[in-house]
């Protein structure tokens, strides 16, 4: 029986059982013995009729209960289950569909990869233990590839980088409603990626747009990852292991190859592959209440990279990322800001491979410039947004970004920054931004970015 028929059946059942008052038989006090004797048979007949009516109601009620017990719930089709999953999860899963242990998605590995299909297989509670196995793969029509395998104790895997863009995906539950968070994880993480067309413009904010080139990057990593959340405000994360990188010629025929335009001085690490042992650690502080309320977050990172076949690329990295959201009279009007800085330090004669340097430009930083536009061993970045929730699920934003990349930490300042300004349109659910469209303008023209998730 369909759900509509069941609902109607239950409605009429409720009306039949409790929708009417019991039959009331009026009684008149007798004025004489004769009248009393005359009314006794009538009362007896009325009582017998009332008893008979009650027995018929109970019989009908028993029949209805038997029929309800025989009803079986309807079984939705596979398509119906997928649609129900998307509806129940909200717009956060707009780009993914999950069927059993598989999840299918559509995203972007890198700016040159375009929209890329991805599939993930996850198997939790192996052998009735907290252990989970998860493997993911994505291949684009432009030749981009990424494969990740993870095994251990975790619910959600940690991002491969701690701060910068990856800080958005810290796998912890910073929420005032959670009294005893259980975010403890320890697992092995294997990753291989092959990106055939990455862009490079040169070092520092003085690099020229006309020097845009492309290169290919292959990277293999084997890490041990661990994290622990002490309270709903404080958590730590550690990653350490081995990685190997190799730079080659790009496959974008519209651009010159990076290996032909730059050398070891202007693009360190371009001429030979390198292997590293690395250690990454991060401390997260977060103050959150209701997901709709303003948030303050701080992340601090220390990383160390040691080259296996030499010491030219040995360096330490220090990073700090602070974000805040201030209400302007109501939850619908928010002023949001972000301050991010990072610096690499090494011994005399050492440097950092250009492909490991932090960068700004793209959908998350300096939105009026291309992705990877500015990079060097030191960065400073500032961003401010005015966000107005025009209606439920729709947010408008005006933003201003500024930042620079520079070679020496002594040059740290907020002068001579490259800047952009722009407007944004965001679609969101009650928890977060699902996807957004940002248009930014700079001295190098206008850029339009479509991205999933918040800007920060």
For the segment 101-121, what is each residue's pLDDT rounded down to a tens digit? 898 887 778 877 877 888 999
**Of 269, 188, 185, residue with least CA distance to 221:** 188
Angle at 376 between CA 373 and CA 380, to 5 degrees: 85
The pLDDT tens digits of the residues spanning 372-390 come to: 999 999 999 999 999 999 8
Sequence-distant (≥ 6) Cβ neighbours of residue 428 within 8 angstroms = 91, 389, 393, 394, 395, 434
Residue 248 has pLDDT above 70, yes or no: yes
The pLDDT tens digits of the residues spanning 271-330 come to: 999 999 999 999 999 887 555 566 888 999 999 999 998 889 999 999 999 999 998 988
277 plus 158 within the same structural domain: yes
94 plus 211 within the same structural domain: no
Q: Is residue 108 one of the residues assigned to a domain?
A: yes
SS3 90: coil
More confident residue, 366 or 60: 366
Q: Is residue 310 one of the residues assigned to a domain?
A: yes
**Of 276, 411, 410, residue with least CA distance to 355:** 276
Mean pLDDT calculated for residue range 357-383: 94
142 plus 186 within the same structural domain: no
Domain that holds residue 214: 154-452
**Structural domain count, the chain:** 2
* Range in 47-56, 207-216, 229-238 the model is least confident about: 47-56
Bridge pairing between strands 213-229 and 234-249: antiparallel
Residue 432 has pLDDT above 50, yes or no: yes
E strand or H helix at 44? helix 33-70
E strand or H helix at 65? helix 33-70
Q: Is residue 39 one of the residues assigned to a domain?
A: no
Distances (CA, A) of 118 to 86, 96, 105, 140: 17, 9, 5, 9
In Å, how far from its chain's centre is CA 432? Answer: 9
CATH number at residue 313: 2.40.160.50
More confident residue, 441 or 232: 441
196 plus 72 within the same structural domain: no
260 plus 181 within the same structural domain: yes
Taking a C-beta distance cutoff of 8 angstroms, is the pair 116, 194 a contact?
Answer: no
Distances (CA, A) of 219 to 145, 190, 216, 251, 294: 11, 11, 10, 17, 38
Distance CA 345, CA 269 (A): 17
246 plus 118 within the same structural domain: no
Boundary (domain end) residue, out of 151, 183, 198: 151
E strand or H helix at 428? strand 418-428
More confident residue, 194 or 392: 194
Boundary (domain end) residue, out of 135, 151, 167: 151
Angle at 255 between CA 252 and CA 261, to 5 degrees: 120
Q: Mark residue 9 as left, alpha or beta (left: phi above 0; alpha: psi -120 to 50; beta: remaining).
A: alpha
The pLDDT tens digits of the residues spanning 7-22 come to: 333 333 333 333 333 3
Q: Is residue 308 one of the residues assigned to a domain?
A: yes
At 169 the pLDDT is 56
**Sign of the CA dihedral with 205 first, then 318, 199, and 167 last:** negative
At 391 the pLDDT is 87
Q: Is residue 61 one of the residues assigned to a domain?
A: no
294 plus 440 within the same structural domain: yes
Beta pairing partners, 98: 103
166 plus 220 within the same structural domain: yes
281 plus 198 within the same structural domain: yes
Mean pLDDT calculated for residue range 425-432: 80
CA atoms within 13 A on the CB side of 17: 14
81 plus 205 within the same structural domain: no
More confident residue, 379 or 89: 379
> Per DSSP, which regions of 288-415 are E strands?
296-307, 315-330, 333-345, 358-360, 374-376, 378-391, 394-406
223 plus 321 within the same structural domain: yes
Q: Kindly report the length of the chain.
A: 456
Q: Is residue 26 one of the residues assigned to a domain?
A: no
Q: Is residue 53 one of the residues assigned to a domain?
A: no
Boundary (domain end) residue, out of 151, 166, 195: 151
Q: Is residue 29 one of the residues assigned to a domain?
A: no
* Range in 96-100, 275-279, 314-318, 420-424 the model is least confident about: 96-100
392 plus 291 within the same structural domain: yes
When the pLDDT of each residue in the chain is averaged and rounded to a whole number, the result is: 80
* Range in 116-120, 305-309, 334-338, 349-353 the model is least confident about: 116-120
**Of 94, 74, 71, residue with least CA distance to 82:** 94
At 106 the pLDDT is 78
**Of 366, 364, 381, residue with least CA distance to 455:** 364
Residue 175 has pLDDT above 50, yes or no: yes
Q: Where are the alpha helices (DSSP H) in 230-322?
A: 258-261
């Amino acid at each position: 029986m369909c759900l509509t028929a069941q609902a109607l059946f239950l409605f009429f059942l409720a009306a039949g059982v409790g929708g009417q008052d019991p039959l009331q038989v009026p009684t008149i006090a007798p004025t004489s013995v004769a009248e009393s004797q005359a009314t006794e048979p009538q009362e007896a007949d009325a009582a017998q009729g009332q008893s008979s009516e009650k027995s018929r109601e109970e019989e009908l009620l028993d029949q209805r209960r038997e029929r309800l017990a025989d009803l079986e719930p309807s079984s939705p089709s596979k398509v119906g289950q997928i649609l129900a999953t998307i509806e129940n999860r909200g717009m956060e899963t707009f780009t993914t569909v999950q069927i059993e242990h598989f999840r299918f998605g559509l995203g972007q590995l890198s700016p040159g990869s375009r929209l890329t299909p991805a599939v993930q297989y996850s198997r939790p509670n192996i052998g009735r233990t907290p252990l989970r196995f998860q493997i993911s793969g994505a291949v684009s029509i432009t030749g981009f590839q990424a494969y990740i395998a993870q095994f251990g104790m975790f619910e959600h895997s940690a991002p491969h980088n701690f701060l910068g863009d990856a800080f958005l995906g810290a796998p912890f539950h910073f929420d005032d409603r959670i009294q005893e968070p259980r975010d403890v994880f320890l697992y092995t993480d294997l990753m291989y990626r092959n990106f055939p067309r990455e862009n490079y413009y040169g070092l520092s904010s003085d690099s020229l747009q006309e020097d845009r080139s492309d290169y290919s990057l292959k990277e293999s990593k084997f890490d041990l990852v661990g994290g622990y959340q002490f309270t709903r405000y404080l958590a730590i994360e550690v990653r350490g292991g081995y990685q190997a990188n190799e730079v080659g010629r790009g496959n974008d025929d519209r651009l010159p190859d990076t290996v032909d335009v730059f050398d070891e001085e202007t693009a360190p690490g371009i001429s030979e592959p390198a292997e590293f042992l690395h250690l990454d650690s991060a401390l997260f502080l977060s103050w959150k209440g209701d997901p709709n309320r303003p948030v303050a977050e701080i992340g601090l990172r220390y990383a160390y990279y040691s080259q296996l076949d030499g010491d030219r690329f040995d360096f330490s990295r220090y990073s700090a990322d602070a974000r805040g959201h201030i209400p302007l009279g109501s939850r619908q009007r928010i002023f949001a800001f972000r301050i991010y800085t990072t610096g690499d330090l090494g011994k005399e004669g050492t440097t950092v491979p250009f492909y490991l340097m932090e960068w700004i430009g793209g959908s998350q930083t300096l939105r009026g410039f291309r992705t990877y536009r500015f990079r060097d061993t030191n960065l400073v970045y500032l961003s401010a947004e005015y966000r107005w929730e025009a209606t439920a699920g729709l947010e408008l934003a005006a933003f201003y970004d500024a930042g620079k990349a520079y070679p020496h930490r002594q040059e740290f300042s907020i002068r001579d920054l490259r800047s952009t300004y722009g407007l944004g349109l965001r679609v969101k659910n009650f928890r977060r931004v699902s996807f957004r469209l940002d248009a930014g303008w700079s001295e190098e023209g206008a850029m339009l970015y479509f991205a999933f998730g918040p800007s920060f």
